[in-house]
Amino acid sequence: MRVMSERQPIPRHVAIIMDGNGRWAKLRGKERYEGHIQGVAAVREAVRAAVRNGVEYLTLYAFSTENWGRPAEEVEALMSLFCTSVINETPSLVEQGVRVKLIGHRSHFSEKVQRYLTEIEERTADGGRLTLILAIDYSSRDEITDAVRKIAAEVADGRIGAAEITERTIGQALYTADYPDPDFIIRTSGECRLSNFLLWQASYAEFYFPQVLWPDFTEEDFDKAMEVYASRERRYGLI
Ligand code: IPE
Ligand code: IPE
Ligand code: MG
């Protein structure tokens, strides 16, 4: 059972489903990848605002496992964008005290992309102000399935009894074992669904679905979201 915490005006962990890049591009008669490029600018805004607001963890859903099913051209554009973003953004992340971590499969990426992703984690490892968790090739159901496999293997080995499995055992077997649950989940572009994102971790999160398309998201939009969060009353099943 959870202990009711005091009202916290600033969420400790914000998670964002960055949606609407394709629609943003379409509205401007551009190719979808141009929406993704502009989406990187919005990531910069969100990170800056998160640091300024004193948020400790920011998780960004950047690429779902289902996104591999998009046209090859778009997937390739996204892969090369991940690599150029690592090169371009790392110095500013280091300067802001941001530590980057990844959740997802990783092994499905080419060796080159994996190298870039590892590099950003290594180069930002000392960041102490904000942990930026990038969900890339992430699927919450895969994550839960992996956790079940891990725990089942421990039971089979006799390291843990089936009756000893608790909520904590499961939380510790997820990719997010080292991070607190998200307090606040934002999905841009007006879509109101989770799309396989943090299903377990979102149990008591607050949700917010602004209409803004991700490439248009600014620091002001983040600040507005913080106001929305501060107005919510979290009850955790109590009265
Ligand atoms: C989100 O924008 C970015 C990724 C999923 C990589 P979309 O590409 O889903 O944009 P829409 O939803 O088609 O507008
Ligand atoms: C979810 O957005 C994944 C990311 C934002 C990375 P999608 O655009 O892929 O999700 P659906 O298809 O609208 O559910
Ligand atoms: Mg979308």
Range of the domain at 164: 140-179
Q: Is 3 a domain residue?
A: no
Both 22 and 52 in one domain: the answer is yes
Q: What is the pLDDT of residue 8?
A: 72
Both 175 and 186 in one domain: the answer is no
Q: For the chain, what is the domain count?
A: 2
Nearest ligand for residue 137 CA = 2
Q: What pLDDT digit, counting tens, does each position of 112-123 carry?
A: 999 999 999 999
**Amino acid making up residue 190:** G
Burial 88-125 (b: 16+ CB within 10 A, else e): ebbeebbebebbbbbbbbeeebeeebeebbeebeebbe
Q: What pLDDT digit, counting tens, does each position of 80-100 carry?
A: 999 999 999 999 999 999 999
Both 87 and 121 in one domain: the answer is yes
Q: In the block, which residue shows the tokens 């590892």?
A: 118
Give SS3 for 44: helix
Q: Please say if 19 is a catalytic residue.
A: yes
For the cut 50, the answer to whether the pLDDT of residue 213 exceeds it is yes
For the cut 50, the answer to whether the pLDDT of residue 3 exceeds it is no
Between 96 and 5, residue with greater pLDDT: 96
Both 49 and 89 in one domain: the answer is yes
Q: Is 41 a domain residue?
A: yes
Both 154 and 83 in one domain: the answer is no
Q: Is 206 a domain residue?
A: yes
Ligand 1 site: residues with CB under 6 angstroms? 18-23, 63, 67, 78, 189, 214
DSSP annotation of 221: H
Q: What is the pLDDT of residue 125?
A: 98
Both 145 and 36 in one domain: the answer is no
pTM of the complete model: 0.96
Give me the sign of the Cα torsion angle 207, 211, 217, 223: negative
Provide the pLDDT confidence category of residue 1 given band limits of 50, 70 and 90: very low
Both 41 and 72 in one domain: the answer is yes
Provide the pLDDT confidence category of residue 2 given band limits of 50, 70 and 90: very low
Which atom of ligand 2 is nearest to 195's Cα? 14
Nearest CA residue ID for atom 11, ligand 2? 195
Q: Please say if 157 is a catalytic residue.
A: no
CA distances from 57 to 62, 87, 150 (A): 15, 22, 26
Q: Is 236 a domain residue?
A: no
Q: In the block, which residue shows the tokens 């914000």?
A: 14
Please, how many CA atoms are within 13 Å of residue 206, restricted to the half-sphere of its CB?
Answer: 22
CA of 67 to the centre of ligand 1 (A): 9
Both 173 and 113 in one domain: the answer is no
Q: Is 31 a domain residue?
A: yes
CA of 46 to the centre of ligand 2 (A): 18
Q: Is 62 a domain residue?
A: yes
Q: What is the CATH number of the domain that holds 214?
A: 3.40.1180.10
**Amino acid making up residue 124:** T
Both 36 and 149 in one domain: the answer is no
Q: What is the pLDDT of residue 182?
A: 98
Both 93 and 210 in one domain: the answer is yes
Among candidate residues 151, 204, 170, the one with its CA nearest the CA of residue 8 = 204
Q: Is 25 a domain residue?
A: yes
Nearest ligand for residue 32 CA = 1
CA distances from 221 to 35, 43, 209, 232 (A): 18, 12, 12, 17
